[in-house]
């Protein structure tokens, strides 16, 4: 199980670095746009659309699996204060399963939308040009899929390891 989690860590880290790069590029792009607008009264055409369609999508969704891999996702902390280690174990499993269920619905919906937008060749008007945006629609099911894969492997590993308060047989 640890080998599978380590193998899955490669695309998870790639997505994290892609999100970081998108954030840095977004800052440079917006700074250049503001500088061009202020200094030369000539903004970069389509900045708002590129930021909304590409950079923000990458920054917001690609790190999801990394967040889950580092246990920084949603936790039921209020229950950890009142329960035993066995209770905490089952709460963590339950939260992971609930997250997996939500992500499955999210992936299904975004997959359907991605298929439709790809078939339509979705574009946004950006000034006097058109910006191809359908490719970024696939980032949502990709990010959700990586997170689901990681959480499923973690649930299997947790169940295989057993409760922390239970003595090994």
- Residue 21: the pLDDT is 98
Is it the case that residue 142 has pLDDT exceeding 70? yes
Taking alpha carbons only, the member of 154, 149, 153 closest to residue 12 is 149
Is it the case that residue 98 has pLDDT exceeding 90? yes
- Residue 87: the pLDDT is 85
Q: Is the dihedral of CA 118, 122, 123, 124 positive or negative?
A: negative
DSSP per residue, 18-85: HHHHHHHHHHHHHHHHHHHHHHHS-PPTTHHHHIIIIIHHHHHHTTHHHHHHTT-S---HHHHTTS-H
Half-sphere exposure of 37 (CA within 13 A, CB side): 11
What's the rounded mean pLDDT across residues 17-21?
98
Alpha carbon distance 34, 134 (integer Å): 27
What's the rounded mean pLDDT across residues 26-41?
98
Entry pTM: 0.87
Local confidence band at 72 (pLDDT 50, 70, 90 cut-offs): confident
């Amino acid at each position: 199980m640890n080998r599978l989690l380590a193998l899955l860590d490669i695309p998870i880290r790639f997505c994290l670095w892609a999100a970081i790069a998108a954030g840095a590029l977004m800052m440079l792009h917006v700074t250049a746009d503001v500088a061009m607008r202020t200094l030369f009264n000539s903004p970069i055409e389509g900045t708002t659309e590129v930021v909304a369609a590409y950079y923000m999508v990458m920054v917001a969704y690609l790190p999801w699996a990394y967040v889950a891999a580092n246990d920084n996702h949603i936790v039921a902390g209020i229950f950890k204060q009142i329960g035993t280690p066995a209770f905490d174990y089952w709460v963590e499993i339950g939260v992971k399963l609930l997250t997996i269920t939500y992500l499955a619905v999210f992936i299904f919906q975004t997959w359907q939308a991605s298929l439709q937008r790809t078939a339509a060749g979705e574009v946004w008007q950006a000034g006097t040009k058109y910006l191809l945006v359908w490719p970024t629609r696939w980032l949502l099911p990709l990010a959700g899929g990586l997170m689901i894969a990681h959480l499923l492997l973690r649930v299997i590993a947790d169940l295989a390891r057993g409760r922390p308060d239970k003595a090994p047989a």
